[in-house]
Structure 1
Amino acid sequence: MDEILCDELLREIMRRLAPSSRPTAALVSKRWFNLLRSATSSLRLTFLPSPSLLGHYTSLSSLTLVLSQAPCPNSLLVSLSASPYLRQLSILSSAISPSTLSSISIFLPKLESLRFTSLRPLSFRWLLLFPSLRELAVHDCDEPGEFHEDDDEGDDCNLSLESLSLGRIRAGELGLGWLWRRCGKIQRLQLRGCEGTGDPTARFFSGAIANLRELELRTCRAIADTVLVLAATHCRSLAKLVLYDGGSRAGLRHLASHLRGQSLRTLDLRLPLDLDNDHLLAISDNFRYLSCLRLQSCCLVSGEGLRALGQSAIEELGLVNCHVVEREPGLLTTLGQSLKRLKKLDLSHNELLLDKELGAMLASCRNLVEIKLRGCKGLSDASMVALFRFCSLLETVDIERCHGISAQGAEFLILGAPRLRRVYVEEEKVSERVRDWVSRKMIRVF
């Protein structure tokens, strides 16, 4: 068989292998080992590779380097010179300098995605040397000491960035005005752990967010209200908002009342002490076309607020670790009956959720293709019977850490669900017989 398959066909087969199967395939023969390396498109290393090593990965398009300390610029550049066709590069080390990034642009002129831990000093003018760059992520923008990058009003060159992720911008930081002024094309913005935007007057920041499709704020309480107000005023077509751990009630209410148009489709909130029923009522009134709502650890929300969403077009609902699921019997039944378009449901980490409540909801959720019940310790095998009985379209199930569900219950669902393609469950709950069966049915078990 090895002799019948040509290199091109065998290489294509190896590209389709699951990551867990590739080490085994590499042990078959030296030929298979070499073909597997040449077929590999993504690589993650914890050391700085030599050019001769990277030279074997001729199809490499994505490289992640996890280094314990900042790499020597010369050795890093020599290594990257062996992979001129890289499209995605991540350098996770202590820091990297703008001069090193400028040198990288010589070897990787077609780079489309760049991620690194921190930038010292904080300067972004090197971005002009990456004309193809579409995605940039800097985990730490907390520049020690005073640094200010003056904006050059005469420089009108715009960047091609479409996705930007920045972390730990200090309050009062002035070094990002140059970047915001040239980011008019960004469609996805993520801010993590930030105390400022790097543009205190919002002179350039407000223009940079005009074309946003996705906005994500994580642990940015100091600036959350300001950003939400600017988004409601300047964003023309915001489709997705993610807000975790920070945001006042006033800022949320302003966004729900003033966001332009009917573009918002996805709302993902983790606001334990900020989100209440008034916000859900405003969301129900103003975002008629909302298709995905995810609430995590929202302690102040009650059934009244959730029932207000009953006439919406929601297709994906997440109530993760929300006490209202356990506190108000019958709520899930009402939601199942009113949300006729529901296709994806996430009830993870509701430890006191019972079979009776879940089963009553599933009886009305005939269109479900995905359900996540991870960490629901109160469920038993009866829920697996309900899934099999009512959800014939089910393709993805997550029942990991559901201690009340036995190996027999998991096997019953895996063997019985006709369209099942992906299951998340503990390894000890899947017998060898079931593993053989799922491999023939192309079902992936995690």
Structure 2
Amino acid sequence: MSCSPEEPNQNSLWLRNKKALNHILFTMRVRSLTPKKQTQDGLLSINSQPTCKIKDFTLTNLVSDKTSLLSDEILLNILSKIPKSQRNSIFLVSKRWLNLQGRLMRSIKLLDWDFLISGRLFFRFPNLIHVDLVNGCLISPRNSGIVCTQKIVSFNVGSDIGGRDWFLDEKFVLNADEIDEGLRVLANGCPNLRKLAVVNTSEMGLLSLAEECPTLQELELHMCDDQVLRGIAACQNLQILRVIGMVEGFYSYSSFVSDVGLTILAQGCKRLVKLELSGCKGSYEGIKAIGQCCQMLEELTLCDHRMEDGWLPALSYCENLKTLRFLSCKRIDCNPGFDEHMGSCPTLEGLHLEKCQLRDKQSLKALFSVCREVREIVLKNCWGLDDDMFSTASICRRLKFLSLEGCSLITTVGLESAVISWKQLQSLEVISCNNVKDSEAMFSVLKDLRWKPDTKSSLSASLTGTGMANRGGKFFKKNDWKSLPGA
């Protein structure tokens, strides 16, 4: 039966009576503390009194949170001291703690593009300074159990994938207009953004980002080309830049970064300290422009580069370069030119080559000539590096640290001959180089030596005396065969 508008709602009047509600809650609390004594009829005694002293109980006491006495600033300071690995479970305490967690978050990897476009990202995490949009830019099934992982990116794929170059084809990535719109929303919501990673953006997207985020210092651009780099000049405070153009088998993209893009980059980002060029084309002119314009550049990384022949001498224009890295490069420079035109990097301290094909002696010799002032050389899992090729490194007279890992073609003789030429060498690290035998090596002049050259010999040495290294019948003595069951 419904109540007329003139008649008061009895239930609402009863709920407004706080004293009555507190009395009910108090009675419930008393019953919960009452000892359960059975009467003769087998029923619980309601009139029995609790043995403990009950304080005044109200609705406020029932739902009170002792941390509510602390301000957000104090509680944030306390929660920030907790290790990150333990924060996820702690923030399940209450909605307030959940909101405080969002204020503590500074870095996030976006998986859902709609979460950015709707603005919920900034409501949930208002103080972000590092945003990774790479996975959010990809169109991939969320419920798929198939995960494709590469050092550049990792994401889910469906079972209907086919073909060779399917990874980041156009149908697997949001178009440039959608990416640009997301960057505009991000720029308005995160004006203090310092680090960003994004795929398939355009010049206009970078311009809108640069206008609203003057503190942007680190940028990672996937599927980049010369046209995109036109918008990077507006990022006046950019210090770390990673440009990823073509990646064989992963980024099937018609455009690429050439000398035009490298020159635009050099003229617009004069405060660069670290630069990585992955899958980029170019030549002597592009690297020369970077060396001349980016006077603060200290670290240069070339990953799977597509540089034209003769680009290597341009490294001498990087006068303040301290670290030079080559990662997964199929070649260095097939025609570097004459040695007298090489020049050198006077401030270079470290030269790192990892997973590179070093099969051209002239190319490797030219590289060591440009890096002859280097203090540290790291060679890791490089193919084709034998004693003859390795001997070209003897030109680096000031070398103090050498690390070799996975260089199976280098022998003890080749290593010793090179070490003798380095009078200032202090530290040597040899790991998993199977043709370098520890029983043959004598390096008494070194101050620091880390020696794990031959995994097979190390295993046999550890099994000495146990008999486990013996084969077949040699494991048993001849007389022991008669004592075996069934012999």
Q: TM-score, normalised by structure 1?
A: 0.64
The aligned residue for residue 133 of structure 1 is 238
- The CA deviation at 1:170 is 3.8
Summarize deviations over 1:249-270 as a string: whole Å, max 9, x none.
2333344456454x42243343
Query: 1:184, 1:207 within 8 Å by CA — same for their partners in 2?
Result: no
Cα deviations by residue, 1:378-398 (Å, 9 ceiling, x for unpaired): 9xxxxxxxxxxxxxxxxxxxx
Q: Is the 8 A contact 1:217 1:242 kept in 2?
A: yes
Q: Is contact 2:276–2:301 with CA below 8 Å preserved after alignment?
A: yes
| Cα drift, residue 188 of structure 1 | 1.1
Separation in 1, partners of 2:261, 2:394: 44
CA shift for structure 1 position 236: 1.4
1:212 lines up with 2:324 in the alignment? no
* Superposition map of 1:312-323 within 5 A: 313-315=425-427, 317-319=429-431, 321-323=432-434
Letter in 2 for 1:299: S
- AA in 1 matched with 2:323: E
Cα shift at 1:239: 1.0
The answer as to 2:378 corresponding to 1:267 is: yes
Give the number of equivalent residue pairs. Answer: 346
Q: Does 1:251 align with 2:363?
A: yes
Percentage of pairs with the same residue:
21
- Pair 1:52-2:142 in alignment: no
Q: CA deviation at 1:186?
A: 1.7
Distance 1:230 1:218 in 2: 27
Matches for 1:379-390 after TM superposition, within 5 Å: none
**Structure 1 residue runs without a partner (length 5+):** 360-377, 379-446
Amino acid at match of 2:97: W
Aligned to 2:132: 64
In structure 2, the CA distance between the partners of 1:268 and 1:7, relative to structure 1 (3 Å rule), is farther
Following TM superposition, the consecutive aligned residue runs of length 4 or more in structure 1 with deviations greater than 6 angstroms are 150-153, 155-158, 171-178, 227-231
Q: 1:152 to 1:295 in 2, by over 3 A?
A: closer
**Residue number in structure 2 paired with 1:162:** 273
Q: State the distance in 1 between where 2:345 and 2:324 align.
A: 10
How far residue 84 of structure 1 moved from its aligned partner, in angstroms, is: 0.9
1:118 partnered with 2:223: yes
Of 80, 103, 108, which residue of structure 1 is paired with 2:213? 108
How much has 1:55 moved relative to structure 2? 4.0
Q: TM-score, normalised by structure 2?
A: 0.59
Match of 1:31 among 72, 75, 96: 96
Partner of 1:21: helix, strand, or coil?
A: helix
Q: 1:63 to 1:201 in 2, by over 3 A?
A: same
Give the conservation status (yes or no) of the 8 Å contact 1:86–1:110: yes
Distance, in Å, in 2 between the alignment partners of 1:63 and 1:87 is 9
Kindly indicate whether the alpha-carbon contact (under 8 Å) linking 1:167 and 1:191 is maintained by their aligned counterparts in 2. Answer: yes
Counterpart code for 2:205: T
- Amino acid in structure 2 at the alignment position of 1:110: T
Instruction: Find the counterpart in structure 1 of residue 7 from structure 2.
Output: none
Structure 1 residue 161 displacement after superposition? 1.1
Q: Structure 1: which amino acid aligns with 2:400? A: L
CA distance in structure 2 between the aligned counterparts of 1:150 and 1:267, rounded to whole angstroms: 30
Residues 220-229 or 101-110, more deviating:
220-229
Aligned alpha-carbon RMSD (Å): 4.2
> What is the SS of the residue equivalent to 1:72?
helix
Conserved 8 A contact 1:318-1:347? yes
CA distance in 1, matches of 2:317, 2:452: 36
What does residue 190 of structure 2 align with? 83
Query: How far apart, in 1, do the equivalents of 2:453 and 2:98 lie?
Result: 41
Query: Match of 2:294, as an amino acid?
Result: C
State the match for 1:192 in structure 2. 303
Task: Answer whether contact 1:186 1:208 (CA < 8 A) is retained.
Answer: no
Alignment deviations for residues 220-247 of structure 1 (CA, whole Å, 9 cap, x no partner):
3344456797996231111111123123
Structure 1 position 136, deviation (Å): 0.8
Distance, in Å, in 2 between the alignment partners of 1:282 and 1:317 is: 19
How many angstroms apart in 2 are the aligned matches of 1:41 and 1:231? 48
392, 397, 403: which one aligns with 1:294? 403
Report the structure number with the largest CA radius of gyration. Answer: 2
Q: Distance between the aligned counterparts of 2:283 and 2:395, measured in 1?
A: 37
Paired letter, 2:277: L
Partners of 1:87 and 1:60 in 2: how far apart? 9
The Cα of 1:133 is off from its aligned counterpart by 0.1
2:458 aligns to what SS in structure 1? coil
* Structure 1 CA distance for aligned equivalents of residues 209 and 379 of structure 2: 36
Q: Which amino acid aligns with 2:224?
A: L
The aligned amino acid for 2:324 is L
Q: Which moved more, 1:263-272 or 1:177-186?
A: 177-186
CA contact (8 A) 2:434 2:453 kept: no
The alignment partner of 2:448 has SS state of coil
- For the 8 Å contact 1:290–1:312, the answer to whether it is kept is yes
Residues 1:37 and 1:77: Cα distance change in structure 2 (over 3 Å): same
